[in-house]
Chains A and B, each alone.
Chain A
């Protein structure tokens, strides 16, 4: 965009003159919009479609209404009055993952919840982005040593932006979302991460002691997630 052509002090005389010289004076008034003047002499914007789409994606984000733990309270505060995330093109939360393209993971993920979170993530349409909110989604946070705590959201789903804090202040979350928008607008894709915990059919799991033990309890077609606590960070 050539918006830097506007002259100082709000005067657009020079532009108007150039345009009149090109298009002839006395044309219809509706062409003389502020926007036109801002664009400069040419009435067209030239950009790559990809770039345009990236800009659109970053400027109109549909967040998933997804609360887990303490961070979700600060997340609600970020959506609510005073901080109002809506101002930053990251609109009203959507209750259904099928309508959302950004998921904020706000809290500790425990063994029972990780498969469910994976399912919710899988239900979101591509392209989708993930903001990990709080220390728990980075490493398990203060509960890292717990027997039931998944050591970070990245064990289950890929994460684009990590916002540290316990919990992060609303300002920090807004900054994280703004950073995500910047990345999307620049066309940067989410980092490729190794996700050790996959949701798979129980029958497909590698046979080992634990799987053998549970074989008579769990149906072959049932989806399941296997946690290797010993290898966790």
Chain B
């Protein structure tokens, strides 16, 4: 929790945002008011007042979390939307809508207020084509530098040939170094490298063993997820794709992000029984995802392929077996439906409960084993304690969420703060650590596994007792969903890596007009230079491992 006093001037007595106070605060900067289903108020401002508007909202109204920057093109204009939240209470939401003209799409950068805007605006420039003034580094981020056109803009021709280069990288600091002793070396880590957890490219400049400069180069797995979702119908064609964002078996958590946003948009109720199944499935996924994070981190920091890595995968196999029983798939579940889940628990139910209980019973012993092997290991502590420090204020400025933020003492968990599913009925705790280092991030994940086990156990108990006649797995949802024209919403859930949100705009058809994914890894990865610059190169690898990124989600 923040130490700053509650800002009474923009919040009402219940701690909710008072729209009128926001309007008073922003004064005549507000051109118009729009309606966003998630936000308390959505204000339209001029492109040249973005910075002061965001600064006012951050400093005077306590909106310290820029969750997402959405860019989109309309028939008559471009638009950037800054989705602002508060770390203390993420249900307090304000959207800042910035239109830009069609022939000169230039808008002021929000970088001065939130550092996370750096990458988000680069992505907006890359995919949609809006340029941001005063941006420190206005380049493409996901597509190759030589790409022609902006893929999500309206006049983009997908059949046009493209040329992509494979160039040599120069040392970015080469010119800065003048004396003989202080020589720097440029080193490419990735995109094919065991420590990058996928196809990430880290451009690193070393001064001796110290990291002088580090820059992540992403986009090696940009699979056009947003375009694919915009081409799919709400009811069935989008749900298979979330599984492939964060693909380390965290599928149900991702599906929930889409389900939550779409159910909000189309006003669909979910039966309580289905919510319990969802909650249980999602937490099983979280356990599987954290196990992978743990195993690969051990592999990163002391090359332990034989013990911890294999143990972690043994436990993942067990979780995957349970999930396969439930959903029929090991990884790409496609189990959620709008308004519920695809089918009920497998028969015989007793066997399923037994399988899950066996896993839960064995888990404390296994976790103790992990603690013996990992957290109480001296080598591990030497590598991790006090390395890769991420200050809470920095984490907030970059929009970091999930275990990365919680290990820096930022008490932010959407399962509790913006409740969905069955979480608010269950007894569990949000894990926070104040170590701020690589060690704290590992510890947070391990404790979260324990909390997840607590949730799964309560869900299993509930499901076992659930009366047979009340087991409704899906509510009545129309075959074709056509949310009203121009309804917009941004909804997020707590995925394995943090806040996974979906922005959707409906245009009256059965497909979304804009589908934007807020990926937690994208924001978390941005903090890497803050952790690694000035540290030793092994600490860079440890920091990267402790961020636990998945490139499918970073690049989408």
Contact = CB atoms under 8 A, between A and B. Distances in A.
Contact of B161 (A95, A119, A229): A229
B331 A116 contact: no
Contacts of B236: none
Interface string B518-556: 000000000000000000000000000000000110000
B3 interface: no
B105 interface: no
Contacts of A113: 191, 199, 220-221
A158 B127 CA distance: 31
B43 interface: no
B271 interface: no
B166 A227 contact: no
A53 interface: no
A115 B192 CA distance: 12
A112 B249 contact: no
A96 to B, nearest CB: 10
Contacts, number: 166
Query: Main SS of chain B's interface residues?
Result: loop
B198 A81 contact: no
Interface in A191-221: 199, 202, 205, 208, 210-211, 213-214, 217-219
Contacts of A65: 194
A205 B199 contact: no
A74 B331 contact: yes
A166 B164 contact: no
Nearest to A123: B192
A229 B144 CA distance: 15
Nearest to A116: B191
Contact of B165 (A74, A76, A149, A224): A224
A70 interface: yes
A223 interface: yes
B241 interface: yes
B198 A227 contact: no
B224 interface: yes
Interface in A68-84: 68-70, 72-74, 76-77, 80-82
Contact of B192 (A108, A120, A214, A223): A120
Interface in B134-172: 143-148, 151, 156, 158-167
A110 interface: yes
Contacts of A205: 163
A169 interface: yes
A89 interface: no
A72 B198 contact: yes
Contacts of B331: 70, 73-74, 167
Given A77-B317, A205-B163, A222-B167, A217 B146 contact: yes
B314 A229 contact: no
A211 B167 CA distance: 16
A106 to B, nearest CB: 11
A169 B159 CA distance: 34
A80 B318 CA distance: 13
Interface string B212-229: 000000011111110110
Contact of A111 (B162, B249, B292, B330): B162
A4 to B, nearest CB: 39
B191 A76 contact: no
B240 interface: yes
Interface stretch (A29-37, A125-133, A139-147): A139-147
B278 to A, nearest CB: 22
Interface residues of A, number: 58
B163 to A, nearest CB: 5
Nearest to B193: A95
Contacts of A166: 332
Interface in B287-324: 292, 309-311, 313-314, 316-317
Given A142-B241, A217-B146, A69 B221 contact: yes
A69 B551 contact: yes
Interface string A86-106: 000000000100000000000
A150 B313 CA distance: 31
A222 B221 CA distance: 23
A66 interface: yes
B228 A80 contact: no
A169 B280 CA distance: 24
A67 interface: yes
A163 interface: no
A66 B193 CA distance: 8
B247 interface: yes
Contacts of A148: 143, 151, 222-224
B231 interface: yes
A210 B330 CA distance: 43
Interface string A37-68: 00000000000000000000000000001111
B316 A77 contact: yes
A11 interface: no
B163 A225 contact: yes
Contacts of B191: 113, 116
A110 to B, nearest CB: 6
Most chain A beta-carbon contacts within 10 A, residue among B148, B194, B199, B247: B199
A147 B223 contact: no
Contacts of B223: 69, 108, 110, 143, 146, 148-149
B332 A70 contact: yes
B286 to A, nearest CB: 15
B244 interface: yes
Which 5 pairs between the two chains have the least Cβ-Cβ distance?
Answer: A146-B224, A70-B247, A80-B313, A115-B166, A230-B159
Given A69-B223, A199-B166, 10 more contacts: A69-B198, A70-B552, A81-B310, A81-B313, A110-B221, A120-B192, A166-B332, A202-B165, A227-B163, A230-B161
18 contacts: A67-B197, A68-B198, A69-B198, A70-B244, A70-B331, A73-B247, A81-B311, A95-B194, A110-B222, A146-B223, A148-B224, A149-B224, A211-B163, A214-B163, A224-B165, A226-B163, A227-B161, A228-B161
Interface of A: 65-70, 72-74, 76-77, 80-82, 95, 107-108, 110-120, 142-143, 145-149, 166-167, 169, 199, 202, 205, 208, 210-211, 213-214, 217-219, 222-230
